Amino acid sequence: MTPGTVSSVLRFGLLAIIAFCLPATSSAQDASAPEAARAPKEVRGAVDRQHVVILQPVVLCDDDGSHAAPFALPKQWVDRVYTKADLEFLYLPPRRWSYGDARQGKVNLDVIVAAGQANGMISRDPRIVTLLFVSSVDGQAGPLGRGLQNGNICFVCLGPTPDANDPMMEAFVVAHEVGHCLNLRHTVDDPRVPDEAFNLQGGGPFEERLAVGGLHESQRDTVMESPLVNARLRFYTSAESARRLLDETWGPYVTGAHPDQLRFVLSLAPDAEIPLGTEARLAFAREKHAGYAAEFTDQEKKVLRGRVADLQSLMGAEWPLLARLPWNFVKVRDGFCRGFPHTRGLSIVLGPRALARIEKDPAFALTVLLHEKLHVAQRLAPHAFASLYSDYGYQRVEIDPGASAGMNLVQNPDALSSTWAIEVDEILYWLATTMIKRGGRLILHEELRPLEPGANGLFAPGPAVPLARLGAFRERFAIRSGHDHPNEVAAYLAEQILRMDFLGQQVEVLPAAEKDLDATRSAFRALLGGVGAR
């Protein structure tokens, strides 16, 4: 194949992956020129674009974590070519995957995809693109890429010397291959695109293919139909909200919940019958959730738009990733989850009482929206927060399900699948939230249990002990609740930082809490203000 020509469609099992062979020379421009000097002039401000593509970079390494594949997060040139579609490419903090054979191109792409979906490296959410950076694809060292047509998986190989690479070449590989995920075809296969024009999916110098004109109007229309394109701000209808409440892409909100938790969430009587079978339970939940899903009023939309804009203007410079991740809102009627604001997947769930207070109390609005938006970021990039949580004093553990079966555990919708332990005086404790019946009502109850190591790395919880055993650990964060999971601790500390640093309010902080606040500030600047959002 000659440089710059388009390959035919290659199929690997059930995957239809498109490969594009790069030209031997990138462009007439000096590839050694600083990127800033060659930056495009006509790109609109990222925050002004109304649609977002979320990308999760995954850098393949050898089995021992060494020899990471060449890696770059191109943004300006990628955003430039997609300006016509009003898109911003937003990169999450990168993950590292120790899988040497995959990095070196020794493994079939189907096998890599299956492994990544099984261990969570590849997102199952159809709204997230996974960029797998490798050193070779099927024995080819690149630079090249392969993208799943109308899917959400790309393999990116930037070549053996990333430091010397042309940033436009790096941008082109990503923009072109993600274009296949957005259902764009090569121009030779697309009769709607003129053959003579330089195009993102055709030939020519990189600067021309990455120009604003590198995307044809028909391609723009195709892109906007892709499920990968997320509106910057979206209010779901009641029918859409019912589906979002039941979506278990990010965790078993319904099928994994204890019957008492479903009774609590749906405001049912403590003895209400809950189907046990999966299909019967889903049908039951579908009916109940549809009854709770509601429509936003025009006034509620207006208020939320204003509060979101206020919050974005406050934190946008410091935490741009958090500010510019899409805002998805679901409205529920009174009684759902006792009116607590929370998240489901990538959506923020609000009830009438919260919405009324958001309208009346600007400070509350900003803190609750920040709190819930942070939970969305934590769900998208849990790996990025692990070091911060270790600084807080938490350790990730796996609880023996047999030993905890009788505890009537409650799922935290904002921290669904992880279990964390707290070490105090060289003893690991598990602060678990359970559901108990009291006075004919179901109420939430905290239990503190020491953990004993068991078989297969699992821990068994012992008998409950007084909460006072946690002592200064609970007091140092100066928050009333949420100590059971570091997601909640970080969200409450974010509220304090917002009030202190952005709103200029006086917040009483214990001397012992200053260290945790400083660690949170530093972590948020690194995680939420990185290159992927700028």
Q: Tell whether 401 and 520 lie within a shared domain.
A: yes
47-101 confidence digits (pLDDT tens):
688 999 999 999 999 999 999 999 988 888 999 999 999 999 999 999 999 999 9
Domain-located, residue 72: yes
pLDDT of res. 27: 36
Indicate the number of domains in the chain.
Answer: 3
Q: What is the pLDDT of residue 65?
A: 96
- Note whether 63 and 137 are same-domain residues: yes
Q: What share of the chain is helix, strand, coil (3-state, %, to 5)?
A: 40, 20, 40
Six token digits for residue 333: 């009627």
> Which residues have a Cβ under 8 Å from the Cβ of 362 and sit 6 or more positions away?
307, 310
Q: Which domain-ending residue is among 378, 393, 418?
A: 378
**Same structural domain, 238 and 221:** no
What is the distance between the alpha carbons of residues 377 and 462, in angstroms, rounded to a whole number?
33
Pairing of strands 233-235, 327-332: parallel
Separation of first and last alpha carbons in the chain = 37
CA nearest 207: which of 216, 217, 220, 198? 198
Which residue bears the tokens 């998986």?
A: 153
With beta carbons less than 8 A apart as the criterion, state whether 270 and 437 touch. Answer: yes
pLDDT per residue as tens digits for the range 137-158 = 988 887 889 999 999 999 999 9
Q: Distance between CA 137 and CA 134 in Å, rounded?
A: 7
**E runs forming strands in 454-503:** 459-461
Q: In the numeric block, which tokens belong to residue 362?
A: 């600007």
- Shared domain for 250 and 396, answered yes or no, is no
Q: Which residues contact 8 (CB under 8 A, 6 or more apart)?
A: none
Listed in sequence order, the residues at least 6 apart from 74 whose beta carbon sits closer than 8 Å to its beta carbon are 167, 170, 171, 174, 175
Q: β-strand 51-61 against 95-98: which pairing, if any?
A: parallel
**Structure-block tokens of residue 56:** 């999760």
Neighbour count for residue 401 (Cβ, 10 Å): 9
Cβ distance 146 to 109 under 8 Å? yes
pLDDT of residue 162: 54
> At which of 343, 358, 378 does a domain end?
378
Torsion sign across C-alpha atoms 287, 299, 304, 227? positive
Domain assignment of residue 24, yes or no: yes
In a domain, 457, yes or no: yes
E-strand stretches of 183-301: 230-231, 233-235, 293-294
Query: What pLDDT score was predicted for residue 3?
Result: 28
Cβ contact 451:421 at 8 Å: yes
The answer to whether position 534 is within a domain reads no
Do strands 128-133 and 51-61 pair parallel, antiparallel, or not at all (unpaired)?
A: parallel
Q: Residue 481: its pLDDT value, please?
A: 81
Token pair, residue 187, equals 């121009």
Task: Establish if 533 belongs to a structural domain.
Answer: no
Q: What is the pLDDT of residue 29?
A: 34
Distance CA 111, CA 116 (A): 9
Single-letter residue type at 241: S
The structure tokens listed for 383 are 């790996």
**How confident is the model at residue 465, as a pLDDT?**
96
Q: Are residues 222 and 357 in the same domain?
A: no
Say whether both 460 and 320 belong to one domain: no
Q: Do the Cβ atoms of 388 and 378 come closer than 8 Å?
A: no
276 within some domain = yes
**Phi, psi values for residue 409, rounded to 5°:** -70, 150
φ/ψ region of 351 (left if φ > 0, alpha if ψ in -120 to 50, else beta) reads beta
Among 355, 378, 401, the domain boundary falls at 378
- Give the largest CA-CA distance in the chain: 78
Residues 31 and 165 in one domain: yes
CATH classification of the domain holding 149: 3.40.390.10
Q: In the prediction, which pLDDT does 44 show? A: 57
User: Under DSSP, is residue 146 helix (H, G, I), strand (E, B) or coil?
Assistant: strand
Q: How far apart are CA 209 and CA 219, in angstroms?
A: 13
What is the Cα–Cα distance from 465 to 448, expressed in whole angstroms? 6
What per-residue confidence (pLDDT) applies to 36? 39
Name 474's bridge partners: none
φ, ψ at 250 (rounded to 5°): -100, 0
Around Cβ 297, how many Cβ atoms within 10 Å?
Answer: 12
245 and 329, same domain (yes or no): yes
Residue whose C-alpha is closest to residue 352's, from 300, 303, 307, 414: 300
pTM of this structure: 0.90
R_g of the chain, CA atoms, integer Å: 25
Contact 311, 366 (CB under 8 A): yes
pLDDT tens for residues 268-277? 999 999 998 9
Same-domain status, 136 and 276? no
Residue 2, in any domain of the structure: no
151 and 263 in a common domain? no
Q: Which positions of the chain have pLDDT values less than 70?
A: 1-47, 161-165, 417-418, 510, 530-534
What was the pLDDT predicted at 163?
A: 55
Residue 405 falls inside a structural domain:
yes
Q: In this structure, are residues 172 and 201 in contact, taking their beta carbons and an 8 Å threshold? A: no
In this structure, are 220 and 241 located in the same domain? no
At residue 210, the pLDDT reads 95
Structure tokens at 102: 């995959």
DSSP annotation string for 414-455: TB-S-EEEEEETTEEEEEEEEEEEETTEEEEEEEEEEEEE-G
Per the structure, the complete domain to which residue 303 belongs is given by 233-378
Q: Work out the number of other CB atoms within 10 angstroms of the CB of residue 382.
A: 17
Q: Are residues 412 and 517 in the same domain?
A: yes
Sequence-distant (6+) residues with CB within 8 A of 165 are 70, 72, 143, 158, 159
Nearest to 268 by CA among 397, 119, 437, 26: 437
φ, ψ of residue 500 in degrees (nearest 5):
-75, -50
